[in-house]
C-alpha cells in the first residue's frame, strides 16, 4: 500500500513538474497546499514561509504537499521574470536560470578550490610548526592564484607513448564528474541549480563517472605507477560507494524524500532534530559516511591512489599544467561536495539548530529580512561544510596511510555491516518512535485508507 502511495505521489509530482514547465500552477492535492513560487521577486521567500508553516512534522507529509519546490533556480527565475516584466515564467526562462545557476556553481567551485588549497597549506603548515605561504598577498592569500596562473601558462606536456585522446579527455571527465554532482546540491533554501526530486540518487549515480576519468588518466599515462594508482582508485571508489549508498538510504528512509531540499526541511527546528542527533543509528551512520567520503575523495588516511611515498604521485604523475590543475580542482571541489552532502543529510543543512535564528525572514513581510534570512542560511550551510572540510584537512595531516588490504577490510568488513545494521536499526527506530509520538502519520503509512 505504501508502495502505491509513493507511486501516486511520484505521478503527482511528475504532473506538477510538467504543469510548471508549461507555466501553469498545479492544483494542490490536499487542502493545505503550498503557494506557487512564480511571480514577484519576494514571492519565493513567502513560499518558503508557507511551506514551513504548512509542513507537518512528518517528512512524508511534507513531501506530498511541497509541490512548489520542484523548480530549478527559483531566485534567478523570479529575478528574470521581474526584469523582463512578464507575468508567468516559461520553460526557457527556467532553463536559462538553471544554466546561470550552474555557472554560479562553477564559479563557486573555482573560488572554493583556490581557497581550499590555501587553507590546506596554511592549516598543514601551522600543524607542522611552519608558516606556509607568506609572500603573495597577506598571509599568502593570493598564493593559489599565483599558482593557478603558473599552471595555466605552463607548457602542455603529453608523454610520447601516452594514449593521446584518453590522456586529454581524462581530466575533463574527472572534473565534469565532480562538477555534475553539484547540480542538485543546495547552498541555501532554494539556492541551487536544480532541485531534483531524485537529488540523492542523482549524486550517487553520477559519482561513478569520476572513477572512469581516473581510470582513463592512469591507463593513458602509460606509466606503471599510474596504472597501480588507477587500479587502487577503481577498487577504492567502487567499494566505498556502497557504505555511502547505505547511509543515503537510511536518511531517505527517515526523511521520506530523495530531494536534498526536502531532507533539510525535515530537520527543521532545534538541533536535536538533525539526523545526526535524532537517533543513535544515524549518528553512527554519520561517522560511517565521513570515513567513507574520506576514501571517496582519496584523502588521507585513504590517499592510496596518490600515495606519494609508494606511487610517486599516483594517477596524475604524468600530468602537468592546466590538466593537472583540473585534477586538483576536482579533488578540492569533491572535498566541499561531500562535506556539504554530509551537512545536508545529517547536520541540518542551512538550519542553525536554533529556531529563533532560523525564523529570521520567515515571519515578517518587510523586504529586507527575507534576504537577510537567506544570507544567514547560506552562510550557515557553507560554514558547516567548511568545518567538515577543515576536519578532513586535520585528519589528513595527522594520520599515516592505510594499506590496500586494510582499506578493503575496513570497507567490506567494518563499514558495510555497520551501515547495514544501522540502516535497519534506524528504520525500526523511526517506526517505533513514530508509533509512539505521532501515531496518525505512522498508521497512515501502513494502514490502507
Partner 1 sequence: MNRVGEFHVHKNVRKRFVVMINAGDLRTEEMLLNMGPQHPSTHGVFRVVIRTDGEMILETESHIGYLHRCFEKISENVNYMQVVPYTDRMDYLCAMINNLGYAEAVEKLMELEVPERAKYIRIIACELNRIASHLLAFGVYGLDLGAITPFLHAFRDREKILKIFEKLCGQRLNYTYIRVGGVSFDMTEEILQDIQDFLDYFEPDVLDEFNRLLSYNGIFISRTANVGIIPEEMAINYGLTGPSLRGSGVKRDLRKDEPYCIYDRFDFEVPVGDGEQGTVGDCWSRYIVRVKEMYESAQIIRQAMRDIPGGAFIDKKASNKVKPPKGEVYHKVEGARGELGYHVISDGTDVPYRVKARAPSFCNISILDAMASDANMMLADIVAVIGSFDIVMGEVDR
Contact positions toward partner 1, by CB under 8 A? 124, 127-130, 224, 228, 231, 300-301, 303-304, 307-310, 312, 397-406
Q: How distant is the alpha carbon of residue 28 from its chain centre?
A: 29
Query: Please, which residue, 288 or 382, has the CB nearer to partner 1?
Result: 288
Query: Please, which residue, 377 or 401, has the CB nearer to partner 1?
Result: 401
Euclidean distance between CA atoms 198 and 271, whole angstroms: 25
Q: How far is the CB of 392 from partner 1 (least distance, A)?
A: 15
Query: Please, which residue, 127 or 287, has the CB nearer to partner 1?
Result: 127
Q: How far is the CB of 393 from partner 1 (least distance, A)?
A: 12
Give every CB contact of residue 357 below 8 A, 6+ residues apart in sequence.
Answer: 376
Q: How far is the CB of 310 from partner 1 (least distance, A)?
A: 5
Query: Please, which residue, 242 or 402, has the CB nearer to partner 1?
Result: 402
Query: Please, which residue, 307 or 330, has the CB nearer to partner 1?
Result: 307
Q: How far is the CB of 301 from partner 1 (least distance, A)?
A: 6
> How far is the CA of 300 from the CAs of 30, 191, 296, 388, in angstroms?
50, 31, 10, 14
Q: How far is the CB of 121 from partner 1 (least distance, A)?
A: 12
Q: How far is the CB of 298 from partner 1 (least distance, A)?
A: 12
> How far is the CA of 276 from the CAs of 3, 221, 365, in angstroms?
27, 42, 33
Nearest Cα to 217, choosing from 233, 206, 203, 205?
233
Query: Please, which residue, 42 or 124, has the CB nearer to partner 1?
Result: 124
C-alpha cell at 244: 555511502
User: Which position has the grid cell 527575507?
Assistant: 370
> How far is the CA of 316 from the CAs of 23, 170, 185, 192, in angstroms?
47, 10, 28, 31
Instruction: DSSP for 339-371, please give it.
Output: HHHHHHHHS-TT--S-HHHHTTTTS---SSHHH
8 A C-beta contact, residue 44 and residue 78: yes
8 A C-beta contact, residue 261 and residue 272: no
Q: How far is the CB of 381 from partner 1 (least distance, A)?
A: 30
Query: Please, which residue, 150 or 224, has the CB nearer to partner 1?
Result: 224
Give the helix, strand, coil percentages of the chain, each rounded to 5: 70, 0, 30
C-alpha cell at 41: 521577486
8 A C-beta contact, residue 314 and residue 229: yes
Q: How far is the CB of 414 from partner 1 (least distance, A)?
A: 13
Query: Please, which residue, 5 or 227, has the CB nearer to partner 1?
Result: 227
Amino acid at each position: 500500500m505504501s508502495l502505491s502511495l509513493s507511486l501516486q505521489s511520484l505521478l503527482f509530482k511528475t504532473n506538477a513538474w510538467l504543469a510548471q514547465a508549461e507555466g501553469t500552477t498545479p492544483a494542490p492535492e490536499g487542502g493545505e497546499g503550498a503557494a506557487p513560487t512564480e511571480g514577484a521577486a519576494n514571492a519565493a521567500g513567502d513560499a518558503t514561509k508557507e511551506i514551513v508553516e504548512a509542513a507537518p512534522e512528518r517528512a512524508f507529509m511534507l513531501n506530498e504537499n511541497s509541490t512548489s519546490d520542484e523548480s530549478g533556480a527559483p531566485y534567478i527565475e523570479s529575478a528574470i521574470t521581474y526584469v523582463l516584466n512578464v507575468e508567468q515564467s516559461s520553460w526557457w526562462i527556467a532553463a536559462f536560470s538553471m544554466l546561470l545557476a550552474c555557472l554560479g556553481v562553477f564559479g563557486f567551485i573555482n573560488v572554493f578550490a583556490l581557497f581550499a588549497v590555501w587553507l590546506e597549506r596554511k592549516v598543514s603548515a601551522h600543524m607542522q610548526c611552519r608558516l606556509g605561504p607568506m609572500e603573495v598577498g597577506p598571509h599568502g592569500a593570493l598564493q593559489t592564484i599565483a599558482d593557478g596562473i603558473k599552471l595555466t601558462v605552463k607548457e602542455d606536456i603529453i608523454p610520447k607513448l601516452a594514449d593521446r585522446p584518453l590522456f586529454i579527455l581524462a581530466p575533463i571527465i574527472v572534473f565534469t564528474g565532480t562538477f555534475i554532482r553539484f547540480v542538485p546540491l543546495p547552498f541555501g533554501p532554494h539556492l541551487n541549480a536544480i532541485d531534483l526530486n531524485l537529488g540523492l540518487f542523482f549524486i550517487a549515480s553520477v559519482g561513478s563517472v569520476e572513477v572512469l576519468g581516473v581510470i582513463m588518466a592512469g591507463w593513458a599515462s602509460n606509466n606503471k605507477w599510474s596504472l597501480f594508482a588507477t587500479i587502487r582508485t577503481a577498487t577504492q571508489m567502487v567499494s566505498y560507494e556502497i557504505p555511502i549508498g547505505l547511509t543515503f538510504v537510511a536518511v531517505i528512509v527517515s526523511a521520506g524524500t530523495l530531494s536534498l531540499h526536502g531532507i533539510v526541511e525535515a530537520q527543521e527546528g532545534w538541533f536535536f532534530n538533525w539526523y545526526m542527533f535524532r537517533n543513535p543509528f544515524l549518528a553512527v551512520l554519520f561517522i560511517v559516511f565521513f570515513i567513507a567520503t574520506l576514501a571517496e575523495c582519496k584523502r588521507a588516511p585513504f590517499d592510496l591512489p596518490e600515495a606519494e611515498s609508494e606511487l610517486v604521485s599516483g594517477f596524475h604523475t604524468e600530468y602537468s599544467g592546466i590538466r593537472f590543475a583540473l585534477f586538483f580542482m576536482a579533488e578540492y571541489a569533491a572535498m566541499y561536495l561531500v562535506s556539504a552532502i554530509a551537512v545536508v543529510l545529517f547536520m541540518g543543512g542551512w538550519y542553525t539548530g536554533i529556531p529563533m535564528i532560523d525564523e529570521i525572514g520567515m515571519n515578517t513581510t518587510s523586504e529586507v529580512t527575507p534576504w537577510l534570512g537567506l544570507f544567514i542560511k547560506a552562510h550557515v550551510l557553507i560554514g558547516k561544510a567548511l568545518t567538515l572540510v577543515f576536519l578532513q584537512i586535520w585528519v589528513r595531516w595527522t594520520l599515516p596511510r592505510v594499506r590496500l588490504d586494510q582499506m578493503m577490510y575496513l570497507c567490506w568488513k567494518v563499514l558495510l555491516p555497520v551501515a547495514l545494521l544501522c540502516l535497519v536499526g534506524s528504520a525500526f527506530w523511526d517506526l517505533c518512535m513514530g508509533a509512539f509520538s505521532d501515531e496518525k502519520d505512522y498508521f497512515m503509512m501502513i494502514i490502507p485508507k
